[in-house]
Each structure stands twice: as structure tokens, then as C-alpha cells.
Structure 1
């Protein structure tokens, strides 16, 4: 098996008459084969640890893996409860986390999912939203690994929704805030940086998701702006949940905003940035994003 399998072909090979439990077990077998292939490819002492809802591939100590897997189990329950009606834990098999032993191996794996040419922003972790979705990050102290896991596991619990990347990332950083204590920090300097950076051109990158991969301050400001917007919207959770379930990456969520929130996305952004031409434009290549970064 390849370290980047043809998951569509694997799905097509599954007998159609299987029960849900039988499908779950078959996907679990395929997943373990795949993780074994990754372990063989990268060598060293990588091994698979399993808990009720997770498979973890790493070369971390048994103590580290025990603490981390317990944290993941608790966090999954908390995300589903906090984002009730938005997040979901559907699908067969278990959630997968891969902890690479260093940044070199992490980026070697990440490179499989990026074009050969181009410049892309750095990341502390990533949810690979392709085939069998999984989240990855390089080895780090558990105190840093836990917030990263909250962020990426939130992406996993949102992967059933065709939401735009700004909303996906906004929810992920909101959960970091709520569950890991990574609070949103805003002062006049940061607000001024936002106001100086975002304009008619750069805001289109935000709506399409491209700005989250910038190599300059635009990446940081993208996560910050997404956090601000989602934190404001979530104050009325029932309405916000309706918006999340209707929002589509094809128009950055504009139609859903008008139908559910009664205003445009430009109005939402303008409430923070001030006056400007912030409306999502047609045909700017909207996408949900193959890879979500932290």
C-alpha cells in the first residue's frame, strides 16, 4: 500500500452488503495497513497506539501517548458538545493522528499534498482533508501538542460540511480558545494591522482561503480575522449553527449569510475593519481547501 493510497478505489472495493459494523472493521483494517506503510517509509521506532476512537502513529514514549490519547478522547466529546448541531463524528474507522519525530519528516509528508512549485506558509499542524482524513504535526511538548490537537480535531469534526475555509479555521481557533486557553488577543496595534492589510484585493484571498497559506503576516491576520468573525457570530448559537449548516465554500458563505444572518459578509467584516469594499467577488476560485493549517 502507498503512503498516499487511492482511497476511492478502496471504498469501491468494499462489498455493498456489509453492515455498518462490518464496514467500520474493514476500514479499520485498511487504516492500520496504511499507517504501517507510513511507519515503514519513515523508519525509526514508529508504532501504532489505539484507543476507543483514535489511532495514533508516533515514536513518542508510552507515557506521552497515554496522556495524549486520553486528551483526544476528552476533546472529541467536548467539541461535539460545544458545537452541537455543527460538528459530527460520522464515518467508518477511527480518527487518525500522526506525530512525526521532527519537522523535516513532517514537511516531507506534507509535500505529498502540495504542488511541486510555489511558496506556502509554515504550520504547527495540519488536517489532511483528503481520502481518509487525518491530522499531523511534528513532535512537540505535550503542552503545545494539545492545543494543536484541538484545532486539527475540530477540522476533522467539520469535514462533513462544505463550509468555506475562513469559517472552518474560525471554528478551529474558537475551539482552541474555549478548550485549550489560546485566547484571542486584540489591541489597537493588532486592529491597526488588520485595517492596513485588508483591502479590496486581499479580502478576496481571505474569502477564497488562499490567505491562510500566505508566507507573510497575511497568514497570521487571516486566522485572527476568522477568529474575530466567528467569535462575534457564535453569540447567537442557534442562528450561527443554521449558518454553518447552510454556508458553502462556492460563494464563501455569502448566500447563507444573507438568508440566515440577514446581512452580507461585507457587513460582518466592515463591523470590525471599518468601511471598505469587502464583498466576495464572483469567480475568484473559492475552495474549501485540501489542507487546513494551524
Structure 2
């Protein structure tokens, strides 16, 4: 079987594979034949990106800076095999680039809007709209506008958006109709405006084209089995984004139609140990990648809700 090396600055203790930090990998790359699984580069992000850039958290400057760092990693580790290439990972950290890629592949995602003025955004808010920082994560950098309620994770003083302290940003109320907020969101480079879809939230893990696990993030909106389109959309999304490992956040609307709303290509720190072992086993098996199949119908297992 192929041997795996995890390149990450923060890894759970139960990961049994060799682990090297990004700094260590850049100084001394893993040997030939290693399969590299990239984790999130926390040290570089904290030292050079978040809170260091003269830009609103998670917007275009953040995505550009992270992509540049991952390109440096790709150059330093040239010739090695990656679970997810640095270039593919960089795309996943740009929500607008992800949406364009998925739409081009026919994968369902919520409708995107492109308001040019605060007045246009105000019209969209009547039906519900999420405004997301394209390089945001962990729920940070999200503003939710609905006809009767406006909330944002940022600190908003009437003139600028600022980052709260800490890793968790609880939503803060903003008076409905605040024109300054609308104008600021429309004039800042790096926000994705997306229609609101209400329904059941799922987290879907895909490895080499197979849906390995589905977890519900909310109480089920309705009974019944999960639709076959869910498996198809998740597998097609991973394929379109060139990801061997992907975790999708998916919404099932009132008609049980799936919409891919976000993707994670880095291994999550909260991944259950049993699931991690299944992921590693799949990624390091000897079956050539081009011979792996993508399921076109649901496949129930004990790891699937």
C-alpha cells in the first residue's frame, strides 16, 4: 500500500500517519513515493494572513494570499503525489471559484446574485440572501439579510466591517434597512451573494468518488430516505473540483433537492477516528485512480445516516 504523510500545523493525536509541519516540509520535503495529505496551514495563516492584511476578513486579498502560499508549497514539493493538489485546494478556499466550477459541471448550488448597488441588494434581501466572505471558514465572514431581520458576524460601526476577537463569531443584529452596510458589502471585493435556501443541512464525506459518510447537521426537515440525487451531486462535485477527498455542506430543500453550499478539502480536526481510518485506507489502496468508480445511486452502510 502507498504510505501517507500528513503536512499540517495542527493534527489530532489519534492520527497514526507521519506528520510534518508546513515549515518542516518546505525545509525538507518528504521522500519520493509519499502520498501527501495537506492539512490547513495554520501557522502561515496566523502569521501572515488573518489580521495581517489591510482588508476585510475572508475577502479577495485573503484568497489571493492563501493561493500564493499553496503555490509555493506546490513548487517546494514538486514531484510528489498529493491527495488533493495545492492548486485544487486553493480553489476550494474561494467560494466564488467553487460555485463557478460546480455550475459549469451541472452540480446544483444555490443561485448567486451580483448586486452592484445597495439598492439592488436591498431588493434581494426581501427574499433572503446570504453574503459570504469567499475565503471565510467556521461560519466567520457571513452576513444574513432577510426581510425582517439582518445579522452579521462582523463588528459593524456604521462605516467599516471589523473582525471580532476569537475563533467563533456569533451573529450580531443590524437594524433592517441600514444603507451603509449594503453599500459596504457591494463595494468590497470578495463577497459571494447567495439566495437563502431553507431545509435540512447535511455533511457529506467523499473519498475517491465514493460517498463514505453522511451526517445530519440539523433535525431532519422531513422523513424518508435521502434522495439519490444527493449521492450524484456530491460525487460530481468532488470530480469537478479534482478532489480525491472532499467534505461538502449540503442543503436539502423542501422538495428534497440537494444543493452544495460549501466544500472542505483539508482534513477536519474533528473527523471521528473511525472515519479517519476509513479515509486513509481508501486513499492508500493500490487500485489505480482511473479505475475507481463513482456511484450513481445511494449505497447504504453503517456509516451512513
Q: Give 1 or 2: higher strand fraction.
A: 2
Structure-1-length-normalised TM-score: 0.25
User: What is the TM-score of this pair, normalised by structure 2?
Assistant: 0.24
